[in-house]
């Protein structure tokens, strides 16, 4: 990649999002000019927190752009050398039409953004927010790795529209992005592949999967027992820093797993209990597998999902990310405590 002109604006798509808000905050604090996009500029409650950030008045410009509208990102991308594409739907339950709600916005949105990149001569690098969901679909997939650990070499081959459609959407979108990137030579692309993202939000929105998961752990949903569901955890602030490091490290290449460690829900509850011993109705134990099999469908867990995920530990190798980007990971305890503190402060717990 050619040297970046740091006086040029940086485009961050999906500006009101959980991850993108932190990216914008850090870029503004470092003195950069930032362009960002929102789908509907009339819904200020989705992005008003950005306007209160330091230097936002002088260095932040908010544009309206829709993932499903061709060329709608061109105006916001003008003169930018770096594009950080974070905009994509993230929800894994209450999905009525996975093709329309997940796959089309993820894939077609990526195509539309990168089409605008191809039409914008100033762009030198794209940083794509992907996910560990494009690396694996179910926890059982760990059995098919070489050393019992997921690395950047793996791709999700087990998800579909019918099974884990969110993971399928992330996989399809990242595959399409790499295909487009490799079919030209002017700009390069880096992907950031976070595990489950937690940590404090900059907005008071409660519609994210991260917030809802923390609420379920604390509000008694799993008081009598939580399923032994393991997932990688990473701090939203680390994910934001990874995007910025990827944008400016000239020799950075490829995919980057962002995961500090793997934990099940009960272990997360134990961490919360250390700092808040009597405040929440936290899970007291792991619910036996046979009970999950019987009652899981009532909680939204299909038998197929239970069979392929419950009780199966996953692990992620973040070595390449540390070496290629120089990223240091936040302790999971601090991530969880800071997340709880933010939710309490904003009245969401």
Residue of 107, 124, 170, 267 marked catalytic: 170
Helical (H) or strand (E) element with 57: helix 56-59
304's tokens: 């197929």
b/e code 1-35 from CB counts within 10 Å (16+ = b): beeeeeebbbbbbbbbbbbbbbbbbbbbeeebbbb
CA 267 to chain centroid, in Å, comes to: 22
Strands of the chain, DSSP E: 10-12, 34-38, 60-64, 82-85, 125-129, 188-194, 196-198, 230-235, 254-258, 261-264
Q: What is the DSSP string of 94-153?
A: S-S-HIIIIIHHHHHHHHHHHHHHHT-TT--EEEEE--GGGT-SSGGGGGGSSSSSB-TT
CA distance 181 to 69: 20
CA distance 10 to 131: 22
170 catalytic? Reply is yes
Helix (H, G, I), strand (E, B) or coil at 59: helix
90's tokens: 């993230």
Active site amino acids? 170
């Amino acid at each position: 990649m050619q040297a970046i002109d740091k006086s040029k604006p940086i485009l961050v798509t999906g500006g009101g999002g959980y991850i993108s808000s932190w990216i914008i905050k850090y870029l503004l604090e470092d003195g950069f000019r930032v362009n960002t996009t929102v789908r509907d500029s009339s819904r200020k409650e989705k992005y008003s927190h950005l306007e209160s950030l330091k230097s936002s008045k002088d260095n932040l410009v908010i544009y309206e752009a829709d993932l499903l509208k061709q060329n709608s990102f061109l105006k916001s991308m003008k003169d930018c050398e770096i594009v950080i594409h974070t905009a994509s739907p993230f929800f894994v339950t209450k999905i009525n039409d996975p093709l329309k709600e997940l796959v089309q916005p993820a894939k077609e949105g990526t195509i539309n953004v990168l089409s605008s990149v191809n039409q914008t001569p100033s762009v030198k690098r794209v940083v794509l927010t992907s996910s560990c969901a494009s690396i694996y679909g179910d926890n059982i997939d760990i059995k098919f790795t070489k050393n019992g650990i997921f690395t950047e070499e793996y791709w999700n081959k087990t998800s579909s529209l019918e099974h884990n459609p969110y993971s399928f959407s992330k996989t399809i979108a990242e595959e399409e992005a790499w295909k487009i990137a490799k079919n030209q030579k002017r700009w390069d692309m880096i992907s950031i592949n976070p595990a489950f993202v937690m940590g404090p939000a900059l907005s008071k929105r409660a519609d994210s999967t991260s917030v809802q998961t923390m609420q379920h752990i604390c509000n008694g949903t799993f008081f009598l027992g939580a399923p032994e569901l393991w997932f990688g955890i990473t701090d939203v602030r680390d994910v934001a820093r990874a995007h910025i490091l990827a944008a400016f490290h000239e020799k950075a290449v490829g995919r980057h797993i962002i995961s500090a460690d793997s934990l099940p829900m009960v272990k997360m509850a134990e961490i919360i209990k250390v700092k808040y011993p009597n405040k929440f109705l936290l899970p007291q134990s792991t619910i036996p597998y046979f009970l999950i099999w019987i009652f899981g469908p009532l909680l939204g867990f299909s038998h197929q999902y239970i069979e392929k995920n419950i009780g199966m530990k996953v692990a992620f190798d973040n070595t390449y990310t540390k070496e290629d980007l120089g990223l240091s990971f936040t302790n999971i305890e601090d991530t969880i405590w800071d997340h709880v503190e933010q939710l309490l402060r904003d009245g969401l717990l």
